[in-house]
Structure 1
Amino acid sequence: MSHDILAALLPAFLWLPILLAAAALLARRSPALQRALALAVHALALGGAITALVTVSDGSVIAEQVSGWDAGISIPFVLDTFSALMLSVAALMVLVCTLFAVFTGDDADPYFHPLVLVLSAGVYGAFLTGDLFNLFVMIEVALIPSYVLLTRSGRPAAMTAGRIYFGVNLFVSAVLLAGVGMVYGSAGTVNMAELAGAAAESPAVGLATGVVLLALGAKAALVPVHTWLPRSYPFASVAVTALLSGLLTKIGVYGVFRVYGLIYEGTGLETLWLVVLLATMIVGVLGALGESGMRSILSFHMTSQVGYIMLPLAFFGPLGMAAGIFYMVHHIIVKAALFLACGAVEHHAGTGKLSQLGGYARREPWLGLVFILAALSLVGIPPMSGFVAKMSLIRASLDAGLYIAAACAIVVSLFTLLSMLKIWNGAFWGADPEPVKETVQLAPAATAPDVTDPAAGRLSRKFSRTAPSSPDRVPRRLILPAALLVVCTISIGLGAEVLMGLATTAAEGLSDTTSYTEAVMAQ
C-alpha cells in the first residue's frame, strides 16, 4: 500500500470502531448482527494493522495531520514500525478475546460489543497519536468502557474491584493531565516531535515530562503503584481480564517507551529505572507465589513481566530496546493464552480456586497441553517465544554491564516456574476434588455462567453449577482461542528472526528519532 493512502487511512483505526460501536448499540436487540459487526471490525482492524506493519517494516515513518489542519493545530497520527507492531498485536488480542466471549456466551450482554469496540478505538488511537494531550485523551477513551466491562456483573466483589480500579485510574489520569499541562506550560507545545530532546535542553521540560512518565508508569502497574491491578483484574469476566491484560497496561508501557525515547532521548534516569524495574520483577513474582486463585496468580505475574519488558530503559539502546519490544509482543500473546486457558477451566468448574480444582490434564488433555505450553513460554523454555525474549534481554543486560539485572531475570524466571507449577498441580494434575453439592438458581439458558471470585473461589449468586467439577467435558470451542495464541508463541519462537527483525527496526526508531521528527514536522 502506498504511503499516501495509508496516511489518509490512519484515523480510521479510531473512527471506524467508534462508528460501528454506535451501529452495534442500535442493533442490541439482534445478538447475531452485533456479533457479526464486531467480529468484522476486529478482523478488518487486524488486516489493516498487518498491512501497515508490512508497509513500514523497512523503518519508514508515515505521518498524517488529522483532517488536513496545519501542523501545530491538528493532531498528528504517526505510524512507524513500533506503533504498527503494537497495533497488530492489539488487534489480534481484541479479535481472539471477543471470540472467547462469544463462545462462553459472555457477550450476551447487549452492551458488551459496543464497549469493546470503543475500548479498542482508544487503544489504537493511543498507539498512533503523536501528541501528548491526545495520548491522554485516547487513554481515557479506552478506560471509560473498561470501567463498565469490569463491573457489569454487579457482584459485590466486582463492584469493590471496580471502585479500586476507577479510583486509582482517575487519580493517575489527573496526574497525567497535570503533567501534560506542565509540559505545555514549559515548552509551549505537546507535539512529541517538537519536544524531541527537550528534556536535556530545559530542566523544566524534563521535570514536567517526569510527571508524565510517573503517571504512565502507574498505568503500567510498576512497583510501588502496582497493587490496583491484582485487586481488580481477576474480578472481571475471563474475556475482559484477558483483554485488559493485553491492552491497557501496555498503553502505559508504550507511552513510557515513546515519551522517554523522544523527549529524554533515553538518558538521565537509568539508575531510577533499574531500581524500580528490578523491584517490579521481584515483588510481582513473589506476590504470585502467595495467591491461591488462578487469575490472581496470573495478574501478579503481569506486574512482574512488565518489569522484564521495561528493563531496557536502564540501558537504553537499540539492542536492549529490541529485546524489550520483542518481550512485550511475546508477553501480550502468552499472558492472554494463559488467562483464556485458565478461564476455560473456571467457566467449566465454576471456580478459580486451586484447592477446589484438579485432574483437568487427564480429563482434558488438549486443554492441559495448551496451558503447559503457554506456561513454559512464560517461563522461557525453548523453543517457545519466551526463551528468545528472555535470552535477548539477558544478553542485552550483560552487554550493558548490568550483571545484577541479568541475574535477577534468571532468578525471577525460576520463581515464575514455581508459580506456573502451582497452577498446574492445583488445577490440571492430581485427583478430581470432591464435588461441592451446594448449588444456587440457574440463570436463563441464554446467559453464560458468571465468573467466580478468583481470590475467594466463591460462586456468583446469579449463576451456578455443581462445583468445582462437572461430569461434562470442556467444550472444544473454549480451548480454541488459547490454542490459537499458543500456536502464535510457538511460531514466534521457531521463526524468531522475523519478529526480532521488526523489533530491531522499531528499537532503532526509538533510539534515533530523526525519521520520526522529520516525518511529523514535514506535514
Structure 2
Amino acid sequence: MTLSPDLIRTLTPLPVLVPMLAAAITLIGGRRPRFQRAVTMSALVIGLVVACLLLYLTDRDGISTLQVGGWDSPIGITLVVDQLSAVMLVVSSIVLLAVMGFAVGQGIHDGTERQPVSIFLPTYLALTAGISNAFLAGDLFNLYVGFEVLLAASFVLLTLGASADRVRAGVSYVMVSMVSSLIFLVGIALAYGATGTLNLAQMATRLDGIPVGTRTAVFGVLLVAFGIKAAVFPLSTWLPDSYPTAPAPVTAVFAGLLTKVGVYAIIRAHTLLFPQGELDNVLMICGLLTMLVGIFGAIAQSDIKRLLSFTLVSHIGYMVFGIALSTQQGLSGAIYYVAHHIIVQTALFLVVGLIERQAGSSSLRRLGGLAAASPVLALVFLVPALNLAGIPPFSGFIGKVALLQAGVAHPSALSWVLVAGGTVTSLLTLYVVARVWTKAFWRSRADAPEGDLADVSPSALIDESEEDIAFDDRADVGRMPALMLIPTIGVVAVGLALTVFAGQFIAITDRAAADLRDRSIYIDAVLGPGYAEQAAATGGTR
C-alpha cells in the first residue's frame, strides 16, 4: 500500500516514453522488418499493461500527478492520472495493440514491398505517444502538443501509398487540422491572458473570478477547436471524406480513437474549467444535430467505409449529449459510451478491411453472398453491428439507456428533445447496419448491380490504377489470413466484455464522473491539499 504513490508516479510517464523510445528504435532498424515488428508489439503490450495498472491504482487510491523535470506545479509540466484518463488509456491501448496486430498480419500475408512499412511502424508509435500525452496532459499547452503530435503522425499514416485519393484526403485533413490548431492556439492565448496560467488546475480556480462574458468567450473558442477534432456538427464535414481513403488499419485506429481525443478534451474543459454550464444548451443542440445529420448521411451511402464514417459522426452526438447534461449520471453515461464506441467502431472498420481483403471492394453495389462465402466473417460483422445499433443486451444498448435515463432525469425540455433524437438515431442506425447486412452478406452476389466486378488482388487496393476483373477470377476469395482475423475477433470480444462486465465498468465510470464533478479533487491533487478551498475564499485570485 505504501508503495502505491511512488509506483503510480513511476508508471505515469511510460505511456508516452515507451512508444516514443520504440519509435526511435524502429526508425533506426528500418531495414529489419521482423525487428521492427517485435519492438512495436512489445511497446504496445507494455503500454497496455501500464494502462491497466494505472486504472487499478487510480480507482483504488485516487488521482495522482507527476511534475516533469522536478519543476513544482504550476510552473512545470504536470502529468495527471485520474479515472477518466486511465480509462481512456486502457481502451486506447487495447485498440492500438489490436490494430497493429491486424496491420502486421496484413503485411506478412500480402507482402510489404509496395508500402513504406519502415515508416508506418515508427509513425504509428508516435501516434500512440501523442494520444497518451493528450490524455495525461495537466496543462493546456501540453494538451496542444499532444494534438500536434497526432496531426503530424496521422498525416503520414493517412497518405501511405501516396495514391491521388489519399494525398487529396490527407491535404484536406491537414488543412482542417491546422485551422483547428490555430483556433486552439487562440484559445490558449485568451485563457492565458485571462488567467495568467496554462496549468489546468490553477486556471480552473482563476476562471471563477473573471467576468462571465470573458469566460464564455474563452470556452467558446476552445469548444470550436475541440469540436473540429471531435467531429461535432457543424464542424464534422471533413471526416467522411478523409478516413475512408486510408489503409484499413489506419482507418480503424483513426475512426476508433482520434475523434475521442477531441471528446476527451471537451469533457476535461467542461468539467474542470467551465462547469458553470453557460454553453450547455448550445452543446445540446450541436449534439442533436450531430446525431441526426450523421445518421441521415449514413443512409445515403453505398460504400461501407463512408457509411461507417457517417455513423461515427452520428454517435459522437450521444457523447456530447451526456456532457451537456452537466450531471454525474450524464457524464458517467458519456464516458461509458466513449469506451463502447471506440471498441465497436474499431471492430467494424477492421471487419471492412477483411471484406476488402476477401471481396476486393467495400461498395454495396458489388458485394453479396458474404454470409455463405464466410460465415465467420458474417458473425464477426454482425456482433459489433448490432452493438452499434444498440440492440439488447449489448453495450451499445446499455450506454444509450444510461444516457437516455440521464436525459429524462434532467430538468430541461431540450433534454427531452435529445432523448427523442437519440431514440430516432438508434433506430436509424439499426436500419443502416441491417441494409449492409442484407446487401453485402445476405443477398446473392449475382443480384448486386456490379457483383461481377472486384479488384485484381489485395495489393490492388493500394494502387487504384488496376483494372477491374471478374470476381470469380480471384484465386484467394473466401480466405482470410488468421493474423488479420484474430485481432478483429479480439476487439469484438472486448466489446462483448463491456456487456458482460457492464456493472463493474459502469461503477468505475460513476466514480470517475463523481470525481470530475468535484473539481477540488483534481485541483488539490495538482496544487496541494486545501488549494481549491483557499482559492474559493479569495475569489480565485491565487
TM-score band w.r.t. shorter chain: over 0.9
CA deviation vs aligned residue, 1:306-333 (integer Å, no higher than 9, x gap): 1011212221111110000000000000
2:508 equivalent among 481, 485, 502: 502
Deviation at 1:426, TM superposition (A): 2.1
Structure 2 counterparts to residues 376-395 of structure 1, below 5 A: 376-395=386-405
Q: Residue 409 of structure 2 aligns with which residue? A: 399
Q: CA deviation at 1:370?
A: 1.2
Q: CA, structure 1 residues 267+404, in 2 after alignment: closer, same or farther (shift >3 Å)?
A: same
Aligned mates of 1:10, 1:462 — CA distance in 2: 48
1:177 maps to which of 165, 178, 185 = 185
- CA distance in structure 2 between the partners assigned to 1:199 and 1:413 by the alignment: 38
Question: Which residue number corresponds to residue 93 of structure 2?
Answer: 91
| Contact in 2 for aligned 1:347/1:449 (Cα 8 Å) | no
Identical aligned residues as a percent: 36
Matched with 1:128 is 136
Distance 2:155 2:339 in 1: 25
Paired with 2:451 and 2:396, the residues of 1 have a C-alpha distance of: 37
Q: Write the mapping of 1:92-241 to structure 2, written as runs, cut at 5 A.
A: 92-105=94-107, 108=112, 109-203=117-211, 204-241=214-251
Deviation string, structure 1 residues 50-76 (Cα, Å, up to 9, x no partner)? 010000113611011111112232110
CA deviations 1:19-59 (Å, max 9, x no partner) are: 11010011111111100000000000000000100001136
* CA contact 1:350–1:469 (8 Å) conserved in 2: no
Partner of 1:455: none
| C-alpha contact (below 8 Å) 2:85/2:136 kept by paired residues | yes
CA distance in 1, matches of 2:472, 2:335: 39
Contact 1:100–1:478 under 8 Å retained in 2:
yes
Matched, 1:78 2:80: yes
Offset of 1:520 from its aligned partner? Answer: 0.4
Q: Is residue 49–residue 87 contact of structure 1 (8 Å, CA) maintained in 2? A: yes
Answering whether residue 277 of structure 2 is matched by residue 267 of structure 1, we say yes
**Which of 234, 243, 259 is 1:249 aligned to?**
259
Q: 1:232 to 1:7 in 2, by over 3 A?
A: same
On the 8 A contact 2:165/2:245 being kept in 1, the answer is yes
| Alignment match, 2:349 | 339
Cα drift, residue 522 of structure 1: 2.2
Would the aligned equivalents of 1:158 and 1:236 in 2 still touch at CA under 8 Å? yes
Q: State how far apart, in whole Å, the 1-side matches of 2:451 and 2:239 are.
A: 31
Instruction: Specify the alignment match of 1:4 in structure 2.
Output: 6
Shift of 1:261: 0.6
User: Tell me, what secondary structure is at the counterpart of 1:449?
Assistant: helix
Equivalent residue for 1:461, pick from 460, 465, 468: 465
| Aligned match of 2:524 | 518
Q: Name 1:34's counterpart in structure 2.
A: 36
Q: Does 1:54 align with 2:56?
A: yes
Output the CA distance in 1 between the equivalents of 2:443 and 2:221. 50
Question: Residue by residue, what CA displacement relative to the aligned partner does 1:226-270 show, whole Å, maximum 9, x if unpaired?
Answer: 011001000000100111112211110000000111111252111
Any conservation in 1 of the 2:453–2:468 contact (CA below 8 Å)?
Answer: no
Alpha-carbon separation, structure 2, partners of 1:465 and 1:198 = 65
Query: Alpha carbons of 1:415 and 1:468: their partners in 2 closer, same or farther (altered >3 Å)?
Result: farther
- Of stretches 335-344 and 8-17 in structure 1, the one that deviates more from structure 2 is 8-17
The one-character-per-residue Cα deviations of 1:464-511 (angstroms, maximum 9, x if unpaired) are 875488444223433222211221122211221111011111111211
Question: Residues of 2 paired with 1:235 and 1:107: CA distance?
Answer: 20
The equivalent of 2:326 in structure 1 is 316
Which of residues 481, 484, 490 in structure 1 aligns to 2:487?
A: 481
- 1:246 touches 1:333 (CA, 8 Å); kept in 2? yes
Bigger share in helix: 2
When residues 27 and 492 of structure 1 are mapped into structure 2, their CA distance, relative to the original with a 3 A threshold, is same
Match of residue 268 from structure 2: 258
Q: Take 1:155 and 1:215, find their aligned partners in 2: how far apart are those partners?
A: 29
Distance 1:492 1:463 in 2: 43
| 1:195/1:206 CA distance change after superposition, 3 Å | farther
Normalising by structure 1, report the TM-score.
Answer: 0.94
Could you list the runs of 5+ residues in structure 1 that have no partner in the other structure?
443-447, 453-458
RMSD: 2.0
Equivalent position SS for 1:473 = coil
Q: Which is further off, 389-398 or 427-436? A: 427-436
SS of alignment partner, residue 515 of structure 1: helix
- Aligned equivalents of 1:228, 1:276: Cα separation in 2: 16
Change (3 A) 1:79 1:304: same
Check conservation: 2:74, 2:527, Cα contact below 8 A. no
Task: Say if 2:366 and 2:454, in contact at 8 Å, map to a contact too.
Answer: no
On the 8 A contact 2:368/2:440 being kept in 1, the answer is: yes
SS at match of 1:194: helix
Q: Report the AA paired with residue 156 of structure 1.
A: A
What are the ranges of 5 or more consecutive residues in structure 2 without an aligned counterpart? 530-542
- Aligned partner letter, 1:427: A
Amino acid at match of 2:263: V
Secondary structure of the corresponding residue to residue 57 of structure 1: helix
Instruction: Provide closer, same or farther for how the CA distance between residues 124 and 463 of structure 1 changes in structure 2, counting only shifts above 3 A.
Output: farther
Moved more, 489-498 or 426-435: 426-435
Cα distance between partner residues in 1 of 2:19 and 2:198: 26
Q: Which residue is equivalent to 1:445?
A: none
Bigger shift: residues 491-500 or 469-478: 469-478
Q: Mean alpha-carbon deviation: is it higher for 299-308 or for 53-62? A: 53-62
Q: Deviations over 1:389-445 (max 9, x none)?
A: 0110111110114221111111110110111012112211111247646866x7xxx
Report deviation, 1:276: 0.7
1:456 is aligned to none
The 3 A distance-change label for structure 1 pair 276 and 435 is closer
State whether residues 9 and 66 of structure 2, in contact with CA within 8 Å, keep that contact through their aligned partners in structure 1: yes
In the alignment, residue 461 of structure 1 is paired with which amino acid? S
TM-score, with structure 2 as normaliser = 0.91
The answer (yes or no) to whether the contact 2:292–2:425 under 8 Å persists in 1 is yes
Match of 1:432 in 2: 445
Aligned to 1:411: 424
Gap change, CA 1:182 and 1:357, over 3 Å in 2: same
**Would you say the 8 A contact 1:199–1:206 is kept in 2?**
no
Answer yes or no: is the 8 Å Cα contact 1:387–1:493 preserved in 2: no
- Confirm or deny: 8 A CA contact 1:280 1:303 kept in the other structure: yes
Which residue in 1 is equivalent to 2:537?
none
Distance in 1 separating the partners of 2:62 and 2:454 = 61
